[in-house]
Structure 1
């Protein structure tokens, strides 16, 4: 069908504009629309005998006629009326042969209303973008990872390095050690941070639904499928990142499909007849090392190699106990906000117990213990009596709570030795607590606790 616009339609369009005029290459009017006549108050027979600057002194048309460059959206005074006016050159054989002038908005009242509407729409757009970012973006940044230990500093450095790349990341570590925080931090630091961050727990999706959940499906692909179909998690994460938690639980039938996604960067929706290209950064996590699963034939070696491009290990809490005071402070602050409470901290006895415990459940267990105590306490400071269930659990695993005479002597000797070490470090640092903490290899927060514990001023 021929692409055709009739003279009648052209006339209708021109007359719908607030004002429209055509100039020749000398700047003389060749045509003025009926609305131009109404706007300017100048009859057409008079206008066609004049040059544009004689009618509109502040016109921008001469710039267009001299340079061939368009001028858009300038506020021009047309016979006392402020109007948004645009100028487009008329070209003939590569040479300027005239100028179109059209007004899309007349009067400052209309202009202000138009501006208010644009500002309103811009504000609404920004609001919805922020809401969408909160809903589908990373919720935590690198500062959400609490601690000053060497192991945490190393992890933060690895996160910053990984954020510069789009390569696949494999995060391993025990349950509750903060693998998801690491994934959030990588995305929030990366160039993909404005796009979606899709979180998927592979253990929470039934094996028979995994393919449809991850890759989507077309309408009518199977019984019970939505008529319009559904996009999968990979496509939803387009331009952003997808976090595959507990990737070690991927079924044997899904593993080769994931391998193809990583290799080809495309997905095949269930029931579809063509592949869909995707641009997604994959961040995977496993609470057990994948190498033994590969050796046992439970996890494909080629998929492991594709996942294991950048490796980050979340350290267990028992290996960074110097971070516990900072973690306790941060967790209490967060829980105060969530629970509407004003807990100030824990007693030294509680902190000593925390420092001695091995924390098999890591930071997640620590949070659970503190939250439970906060719901039991009647004061602003958490005491040992507020942790009865935790103390009982510790007693069932260790004799540290009720030591024998020999264990008591050992503990006393250990405390005396620790007190002497702290005192000697302070003396060597000439009272400089920052330097003393560096000598002891502990954080300033831990040092302050020990100074208070041993009454060292």
Structure 2
């Protein structure tokens, strides 16, 4: 049914304040209430660009983007900032082509509208607060916004995260140590439909092999000596309906791999000492700092498990391949470290920034954070100067000497560090006559970390 033009005119005239523009943003109509409220006669504005009369208008943006803007506060006096109305800007289309712009204002019920807007904003802030608290409770701390950088590599990485978040398929994240694999796993979980459920993580290299199965699948009461009364849930049960992050999955023992494969295929687990299967609905996100394909070729990782994990694959670029992000990363790390360390270092000098960008960062973002933290502890002022990085320049020169530019700088330093660490672990075991708990205390590290190093250096 067509609306009578006279009826349409009556409706528009009785609306609180209406202005219509052409598709270029020039006034072609204003109603009587608009004239009264804005204190301008039609002949003063018709044919003129809205932007010339009211520089704060959003109609030009709406006409450019063809998207409406709703609920803008309008100030008649830019100096005093007194709100006089709430403005809605709408594009008008005819036969799918932009035809005009509509500006609809609310003046009469301004107080009611403002109160409503305040309530909506308050509820929005509360919602964000509770969403953040829920993340903490469920175990997921990071979002896509925590991935810093504007490089093509980072933008592509974020696109991959959003793509992965759309489904519940298993994800394999590959990247060098220190590139942020766990952060990406958190972001995938947070961006998906499972974000209201638990995000559970387990480091496959940090737990002794004989305890790993019980960590994964749990156990029943009396399953073994020392078993907790009433039994215990494993990580898979804890992650039910949510996500399970398997960090350093490349370190998973071969004996446990077929059991993990069965869970992924059958969607059920069996507790140690149990007599029945427990259904689980878990999305698995795995991470590896070495190529699983290479491990499959070396017979160190099952090919069938690799294919089951490698449904959605995300490769995180090393820092040396996105150096344009280093200034942004450095500034963000500076803020975090100031908060953590109770310091007030506000700036990084241009000379220091050039030094940071020129380095190849074999340890990636983790190494960058370590370098900044050390320099911040040296500095007394509010600016990080090149003098605070003399130790770093010495290391940089020594580590990169006689190496080609495309070779990862610092390899020899890592080799020396590895050898020194292995010797320290061996010496601690010797002093403590093989007592692993005492050796861990002697080295001032946790038993979990100590077992990890024993496995790393094949010292069991």
Global fold match (TM > 0.5): yes
User: Structure 1, residues 125-151: CA drift from partner, whole Å, max 9, x if none?
Assistant: x99997564143310000100001111
Among 120, 137, 140, the residue aligned to 2:139: 137
1:220 aligns with 2:222: yes
Consecutive unaligned residues in structure 2, runs of 5 or more: 1-127, 403-460
Indicate the residue corresponding to 1:180 in structure 2. Answer: 182
Shift of 1:399: 5.3
How far, CA to CA, are the matches of 2:140 and 2:202 in structure 1? Answer: 13
User: Does the 8 Å contact 1:137/1:193 carry over to 2?
Assistant: no
| C-alpha contact 1:183 1:283 (8 A) present in aligned 2 | yes
Alignment CA distance shift 1:357-1:128 (3 Å)? closer
Q: How does 1:18-417 map to 2 (within 5 A)?
A: 131=133, 133-398=135-400
What is the Cα-based RMSD across aligned positions, in Å?
1.7
Residue 336 of structure 1 and its aligned partner are, at CA, apart by 1.3
Question: What is the aligned length?
Answer: 275
Q: Which has the larger radius of gyration?
A: 1
8 Å Cα contact 1:216/1:233 also seen in 2: yes
Residue 392 (structure 1) shift: 2.0
Question: Matches of 1:174 and 1:343 in 2, distance apart?
Answer: 29
Aligned partners of 2:133, 2:359: CA distance in 1, in Å? 41
Q: For residues 177-216 of structure 1, what are the alpha-carbon distances to aligned partners after superposition, in whole Å with 9 as ceiling and x for unaligned?
A: 1111110000000000010000111101110011111100
Instruction: Decide whether aligned partners of structure 1 residues 334 and 350 sit closer, same or farther in structure 2, where only a CA change above 3 A counts.
Output: same
> Relative to structure 1, is the Cα distance of residues 337 and 232 closer, same or farther in structure 2, using a 3 angstrom cutoff?
same
- Note the alpha carbon deviations across 1:60-110, whole angstroms, 9 max, x for none: xxxxxxxxxxxxxxxxxxxxxxxxxxxxxxxxxxxxxxxxxxxxxxxxxxx
- Show CA shifts across 1:344-378 (max 9, x none): 12112111111111000000000010011111101
TM-score relative to the length of structure 1: 0.59
Secondary structure of residue in 1 paired with 2:378: coil
Distance in structure 2 (CA, Å) of the matches to 1:252 and 1:319: 33
Partner of 1:453: none
Which whole-Å CA distance do the structure 2 matches of 1:270 and 1:389 have between them?
Answer: 52
Question: Matched residues in 2 for 1:278 and 1:290: separation?
Answer: 26
TM-score, length basis structure 2: 0.58
Ranges in structure 1 where 5+ consecutive residues have no aligned partner: 1-125, 401-457
Contact 2:134/2:196 (8 A) holds in 1:
no
Deviations 1:253-293 (A, max 9, x none): 10000000100011010000001000100000000010011
Whether the aligned pair in 2 keeps the contact of 1:196 and 1:239 (CA below 8 Å) is yes
Question: What's the counterpart of residue 448 of structure 2?
Answer: none
Relative to structure 1, is the Cα distance of residues 331 and 214 closer, same or farther in structure 2, using a 3 angstrom cutoff? same
Which residue of 1 is the match for residue 85 of structure 2?
Answer: none
The CA distance in 2 between the partners of 1:358 and 1:295, in whole Å, is 29
Structure 1 residues 132 and 149, CA gap change in structure 2 (3 angstroms): closer
